[in-house]
A = this chain, B = another copy of it.
Amino acid sequence: MIRFECDYAEGCHPALLKALTDTNFEQHPGYGEDAHCDRARQLIKEQLEAPHANVHFLVGGTQANATVICAALRPHQGAIAAVTGHINVHETGAIEALGHKVLPLPSTDGRISAEQVEAYCAGHWGDATHEHMVQPGMVYISQPTENGTLYTLEQLTALRKVCDKYDLMLYVDGARCGYGLASPKNDVLLPDLARLCDVFYIGGTKVGALFGEAVVIMNEKLNKDFRYFIKRQGGMLAKGRLLGVQFETLMEKGLYQQLGQHAVSLALEIRKTFEECGVSLLYDSPTNQQFPILTKAERDAFAEKYAFSHWETLDDDLAAVRFCTSWFTPEENVRQLIQDIRRICRR
**Which residues from chain A sit less than 8 Å from chain B, CB to CB?**
3, 6, 8-12, 14, 17, 20-21, 23-31, 59-63, 65-67, 70-71, 74-76, 78, 89-94, 96-102, 129, 131-135, 205-206, 210-211, 225, 227-239, 241-242, 328
The minimal Cβ–Cβ distance linking A227 to chain B, given in whole angstroms, is: 4
Tell me if A63 and B235 are in contact (CB < 8 A): yes
> How many Å lie between the Cα of A91 and that of B233 in the bound state?
9
For residue A28, which residue of chain B has the nearest CB?
A: B9
Tell me if B225 and A74 are in contact (CB < 8 A): yes
Tell me if A93 and B234 are in contact (CB < 8 A): no
Contacts A25-B10, A96-B101 given: A211-B237 contact, CB under 8 Å?
yes
The minimal Cβ–Cβ distance linking A113 to chain B, given in whole angstroms, is: 21
Can you list 19 residue pairs at the A/B interface with Cβ under 8 Å?
A3-B27, A9-B30, A10-B25, A10-B26, A11-B23, A11-B25, A11-B239, A17-B21, A17-B24, A60-B234, A61-B238, A75-B75, A75-B98, A76-B93, A91-B132, A92-B131, A92-B232, A135-B225, A211-B237
Identical copies of this chain, number = 4
For residue A132, which residue of chain B has the nearest CB?
A: B90
Tell me if B91 and A225 are in contact (CB < 8 A): no
> How many Å lie between the Cα of A135 and that of B132 in the bound state?
26
Contacts A3-B27, A96-B134 given: A205-B89 contact, CB under 8 Å?
no
> How many Å lie between the Cα of A8 and that of B32 in the bound state?
13
Contacts A75-B70, A90-B132 given: A24-B30 contact, CB under 8 Å?
no
> How many Å lie between the Cα of A135 and that of B162 in the bound state?
34
Residue numbers in B under 8 Å from A3 (CB-CB): 27
